Amino acid sequence: MLDGLADTITASLITYDGRELFRPRDSTFSIYADRVAPTYEAMRIDRQRAIGEIVDAAFAQGGWALYAGHKLIEETCGLDCREPRYLELLDAALGFLHDRECSGMCLNAPERERWIETNGSMASFWDLDGSAIPPPGSEPPVAELEIGESRLIARLEEREDSNLVFAERSTDGGLAAVIDSVWSDDDPRRSRTVWKTAGDLPSVLRAVADGLPGVPYWASDELRPYLPVRRSR
């Protein structure tokens, strides 16, 4: 099992683009049956060696392999894995995503926490400048929502099943930001969840901008003033 693990990673996970999180579309390849399940067994036999094999293979390949190897270890060891060699790979994977200016929506909570731990803030990941964001009390004018109105203010990713954020005014007059998302990876039905509430629309917009882990793929004219912008490189 362990003797072939590096070859397994190099020939499969690394080949399948890390951007797809190991679920290539329109493919019969089963990431769980073909790669994750065997890796669980390798971790059970000798966790440190298995991690080392994955890390070595990922660094040998470079690029998206860094992210792919990190996600495999994260899946088979857990989100709280603190093995030194894994953290070395995680830092390299995050650095790769940073250099490619990848969407902030690709990071999960532990990934964001690790970047903040080693770099101080998420602003350094995105090279974002928030100096133009209007301070409280100087918000730009915005068209108010009518009773029962729902207005799309953000599309988090380019893909068709991306999470969407709406600003809504309920029938009782309350204002909220609502996330519209797929139910799960296995269930494409959409669900809606109240995310942020506030007493006025500018405050809702500011709360949404503050709550996003990165700049969304698309933002409405109302939301854009509250988002930081990427510094020129």
pLDDT digits over 133-178, tens only?
899 889 999 999 999 999 999 998 888 888 899 999 999 999 999 9
Mean pLDDT of 111-131: 81
Phi, psi of 95 (to 5 degrees): -65, -40
Mean pLDDT of 198-202: 95
Comparing CA positions, the residue from 69, 50, 48, 47 lying closest to residue 58 is: 69
Task: Give me the pLDDT at residue 185, please.
Answer: 67
User: Where does the pLDDT of residue 93 fall: very low under 50, low under 70, confident under 90, or very high at 90 and above?
Assistant: very high
Burial 130-147 (b: 16+ CB within 10 A, else e): eeeeeeeeebeebeebee
Task: Among 52-66, 113-127, 160-174, 177-191, name the one with the lowest average pLDDT.
Answer: 113-127
Handedness of CA 191, 195, 201, 206 (dihedral sign): negative
pTM of the model: 0.56
pLDDT for residue 32 is more than 80: no
| Mean pLDDT value across the chain | 81
Dmax over Cα atoms in the chain, in whole Å?
A: 64
pLDDT for residue 56 is more than 70: yes
Task: Give me the pLDDT at residue 119, please.
Answer: 87
Write out the E strands in the chain: 128-129, 150-155, 164-169, 175-184, 187-198, 218-219, 229-230
Alpha helices in 105-149 (DSSP H): 109-119, 122-126
User: Where does the pLDDT of residue 105 fall: very low under 50, low under 70, confident under 90, or very high at 90 and above?
Assistant: low
- Provide the token pair at 160: 């068709």
Task: Give me the pLDDT at residue 39, please.
Answer: 84
DSSP 23: -
pLDDT for residue 208 is more than 50: yes
DSSP 134: P
Task: Give me the pLDDT at residue 109, please.
Answer: 84
pLDDT for residue 59 is more than 80: yes
Task: Give me the pLDDT at residue 197, please.
Answer: 95
